Amino acid sequence: MLSWLKQLDDLLRGRKTAPQRLAEGRVELPLGMFVPMAVVLGAAYGFFMGWYAILSRDPVSCQQLLASTVKLPALFLLTLVVTFPSLYVFNALVGCRLSFTATLRLLVGAVVVNVAVAASLGPILGFFTLSTTSYSFMILLNVVLLAVAGMVSLAFLLHTLRRLAFPPPISPPPSTPAEVSNDNPANSAKPPEREPGPLDQILDDVPDQALGQARMIFRIWVIIYGLVGAQMGWLLRPFIGSPNLEFTWFRHREGNFFQSVFYHLQRLLGGG
């Protein structure tokens, strides 16, 4: 468990995706550790999500609590399976040097960041579950919390992909004292030059058009990932469990995620 926490802390602090680690196109995220970690963290948020079935349903539905705990990590892992091929192809289009396995490791890392942020928001979800019995409010609250977690993880993923697509060139080693001598008038007459920063190096070595195209491609993929994740959640519903319906593992395939959000927003605001 301590090794899990250490690996998670390194990932969240950016040590796992530092530029020097990505210089050769390698992503050091062991799947044997991070996939189970994603399952556990996702189940933690799902557990808090299932509280509504315990506290606001009559009779209490322990089955819904179990279903929420199981289906939350399944939501993220199934979204990963569906979107992974497109991410690999998009990486190839912009010239990333990631191999098939390295791309998978990176996407698993993004999922871990996603569920870690969601699990950290779980106590907030539990607090509001204790505070209200409004089903529509709880639906929308979960949408907001999971959207926040998703945006954080996608920001992490985009930042890493940009580093991989356009890594800053390695700076030459500093001159030794023997090479720079105060006895040389040419050296003493020159004012010290400002060392170029990472942004300067990127702009000098990468055409603006290529960088803009890469950003556009990555943003398109982010939209695809978000849409797939939202609709995957709709297919796996219910996660909270309507107090007016009996428990079921899955509901009929009808409507879509966005229609449901609009419907519950109307109900919450008293418009329908």
CB-based contacts of 89, cutoff 8 Å, min separation 6 = none
Q: Are 222 and 117 in contact (CB under 8 A)?
A: no
Residue-wise pLDDT for 20-67, tens only, equals 666 655 677 888 899 999 999 999 999 999 999 888 877 788 898 999
Q: Which domain holds residue 116?
A: 28-169+198-269
In this model, does residue 187 exceed pLDDT 80?
no
187 within some domain: no
249 within some domain: yes
CB-based contacts of 262, cutoff 8 Å, min separation 6 = none
4 within some domain: no
256 within some domain: yes
183 within some domain: no
CB-based contacts of 216, cutoff 8 Å, min separation 6 = none
In this model, does residue 10 exceed pLDDT 50?
yes
Confidence band (pLDDT; 50, 70, 90) for 269?
Answer: confident
State how far the Cα of 41 lies from the Cα of 119, in Å rounded to an integer.
6
Split into its structural domains, the chain has a count of 1
Structure token pair of residue 213:
């195209």
Q: Are 109 and 16 in contact (CB under 8 A)?
A: yes
184 within some domain: no
In this model, does residue 213 exceed pLDDT 70?
no
Neighbours of 259 (CB within 10 A): 11
Q: How much of the chain is in helix, strand and coil states, percent to nearest 5?
A: 70, 0, 30
pLDDT at 175: 52
3 within some domain: no
Range in 10-24, 119-133, 180-194, 240-254 with the lowest mean pLDDT: 180-194
pLDDT at 194: 45
Most confident of 70-79, 154-163, 261-270: 70-79
State how far the Cα of 262 lies from the Cα of 272, in Å rounded to an integer.
11
